[in-house]
């Protein structure tokens, strides 16, 4: 994230997206916790799936009729999460994405996560928010006053994220449609790579 902030300072708002694309090309495709320590994965892939399905609190985007659920743990201040959001849109007709906000990047993370969770139309709010993040304008405006239950949910999501041994977002947990195996991935993907990860035809 420090590298992203450096690019922002160097390029300015209008060209920050170009800078972010350069970062992605160099292999930086996820936002890591600044204070992350070496962590061992405490949960197997199956345990991670079961736990996030039971305990994670997020919002749904995509098909409500499909059994194919993909969990994405994201920090609202992460531009790579914004990239993944945009690349996932073409797959939403066939996939149910559950976006689970965590908060560790900065003070805006939790309020913006709360705003997205409580939005009347979370998918529409997320599209506008991520466009703002990628444009370098900081994302949706959000009150620092968060309802207790929403604040607790985001804190629990973050603790769950850490319990899984993850240290970067976006973090994907899904079932491959072809093999039935649970797959995980950390970092942004383009639409074709995401389709391949999910085992879609």
Query: What is d(CA 179, CA 201) in angstroms, rounded to the nearest whole number?
Result: 12
Please give the model's pTM, rounded to 2 decimal places: 0.83
Encoded tokens for 78: 């992460």
Q: Burial, 191: exposed, middle or buried (Cβ in 10 Å; 0-12, 13-18, 19+)?
A: middle
CATH topology of domain 30-197: Glutaredoxin (3.40.30)
pLDDT tens string 151-199: 999 999 999 999 988 889 999 999 999 999 999 999 999 999 999 999 9
Determine what percent of the chain is predicted with pLDDT higher than 70: 82
Positive/negative CA dihedral, 115, 36, 5, 106: positive
Which band of pLDDT confidence, cut at 50, 70 and 90, is reported for residue 200?
A: very high
Domain boundaries defined on the chain: 30-197
At residue 13, does pLDDT exceed 60?
A: no
At residue 121, does pLDDT exceed 60?
A: yes
Read off φ and ψ for residue 100, nearest 5 degrees: -115, 110
């Amino acid at each position: 994230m420090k590298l992203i902030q450096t690019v922002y300072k160097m390029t300015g708002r209008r060209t920050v997206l170009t800078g972010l694309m350069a970062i992605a090309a160099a292999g930086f495709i996820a936002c890591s916790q600044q204070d992350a320590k070496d962590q061992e994965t405490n949960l197997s892939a199956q345990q991670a799936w079961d736990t996030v399905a039971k305990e994670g609190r997020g919002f749904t985007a995509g098909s409500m009729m499909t059994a194919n659920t993909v969990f994405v743990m994201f920090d609202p201040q992460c531009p790579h999460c914004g990239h993944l959001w945009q690349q996932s849109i073409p797959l939403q007709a066939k996939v149910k994405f559950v976006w689970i906000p965590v908060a560790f990047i900065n003070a805006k993370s939790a309020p913006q996560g709360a705003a997205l969770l409580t939005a009347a139309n979370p998918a529409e709010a997320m599209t506008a928010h991520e466009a703002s993040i990628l444009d370098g304008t900081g994302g949706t405006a959000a009150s620092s006053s968060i309802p207790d239950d929403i604040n607790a949910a985001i804190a629990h999501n973050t603790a769950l994220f850490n319990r899984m041994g993850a240290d970067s977002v976006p973090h994907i947990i899904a079932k491959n449609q072809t093999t039935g195996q649970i797959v995980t991935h950390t970092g942004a993907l383009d639409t074709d790579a995401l389709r391949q990860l999910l085992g879609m035809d």
